[in-house]
Amino acid sequence: MQVSHADVLVRNSSYDYEKLKPVVFELLSMLDRGRIGRQSRVLIKPNFLAPAPPDRAMITHPLIVKAAAEYVLEKGAEPLVSDSPAMGTFERVMRDGGFERELKGLPVACRAFGASVMVDVGPPFNRIEIAADAVNADMVINLPKLKTHTQMLLTLGVKNMFGCIVGLRKPEWHFRTGIDRDKFAELLVRVCAAVRPAITILDGILAMEGQGPGKGGVPREFGVVLASDSAFAADAVVCGMLGLMQHDLPTNRAASVLGLMPHDIRTDGDLPDIRDMKLPVMTPLVFGPKGLHGFMRKHLVQRPACNEAFCRHCGECWRYCPAKAIAPELNGLVFDYDKCIRCYCCIEVCPYGALSAKETAAGKVARMLLKR
């Protein structure tokens, strides 16, 4: 069933807490609509990709999390800050990201997602495991970070809900959806719809461009915060802000097909016009005759590569790789590009920024020819 309408609020701000707190409070009060009651269990779901300082733009800024927690506390509700980092521990993200310092003294529960419950998200995925704290919350406040994403172009409100898949279940689902980017996008949309975040506040004050969402990305200041009662609408408006068509983002396409993208999106505030954000190269992962899919992907689709000068052989990439396509050797990493499904999880979790997506020579020629 098509969702009728949604509101997207746009505000300029900075990480000066005296200026940021009233902005976050205003956005929450406009979208809360009295739904946060006394003793309500409110999950605050930031982007806790990996341990990193806030100025790397890899994680939601701790002051946005602090403002959301203080708003929930003022309503007499019970806030829980939780996520399942792709790399490192929740406790280390809390420490390195400045969350321990900013939340100190506040009666806010902070813990990693633990137990999961089975949720039927609909075909073709059906029953999947989602964090119990997300499913059982009375309300979910979604606090994503505006970042590029090597596989999915951007990671925004919808993709942030994938963090509700606990631990190594995430790379398992990468492998199960395989090389089909649209299928993975549908999974992300299904998970977001199952968790049902009531409010999404996107941290775009310091965003990330280039080969995000991890250490390979480059921080860039936009000075903007967007909020909505629909994560799908928020993502669509961000695309417009960046000069993209709504359907350029795979999760937007999937949401539209499933009837989850509101047809009437109303904006409140001045939306910046940003046309020069450096985005990842997005080449199709599946194309050509079916019998040649593997050959075409191996030789034409950008592939993960390692800069040995930065690699510390820590093992994060080969441990996390869903396809088990990476092996360590004395002289560096060895990639099995026949096995590689081009999910780029290795790039995402590398703590040293040693991995990046590289176009093959044949792929570059093919892309240039297609542009003609």
For residues 320 and 159, give the distance between their C-alpha atoms in angstroms, rounded to a whole number.
18
pTM: 0.91
Burial class of residue 226 (count of CB atoms within 10 Å of its CB; 0-12, 13-18, 19+): buried
Show pLDDT as tens, one digit a residue, over the chain (372 residues).
466 899 999 999 999 999 999 999 999 999 999 999 999 999 999 999 999 999 999 999 999 999 999 999 999 999 999 999 999 999 999 999 999 999 999 999 999 999 999 999 999 999 999 999 999 999 999 999 999 999 999 999 999 999 999 998 999 999 988 788 999 999 999 999 999 999 999 999 999 999 999 999 999 999 999 999 999 999 999 999 999 999 999 999 999 999 999 999 999 999 999 999 999 988 665 545 455 445 555 666 889 999 999 999 999 999 999 999 999 988 889 999 999 999 999 999 999 999 999 987 776 665 555 555
Pairing of strands 116-120, 127-131: antiparallel
Q: CA 40, 47, 280 angle in degrees (round to 5)?
A: 145
Q: Would you list the domain boundaries of the chain? A: 5-268, 290-371
Helix/strand/coil for 31:
helix
| Token duo for residue 69 | 């927690």
Q: Would you say the CATH fold of 290-371 matches that of 5-268?
A: no
- The DSSP secondary structure of 155-180, one letter per residue, reads E-HHHHGGGGS-TTHHHHHHHHHTT-
What string of H, E and C letters represents the secondary structure of 52-102? CCHHHCCCCCHHHHHHHHHHHHHCCCEEEECCCCCCCCHHHHHHHCCHHHH
**What's the sign of the alpha-carbon dihedral 68, 32, 139, 108?**
positive
CATH number of the structural domain 290-371: 3.30.70.20
Closest Cα partner for 213 from 31, 370, 344, 333? 344
For domain 5-268, give the fold.
Answer: Rossmann fold (3.40.50)
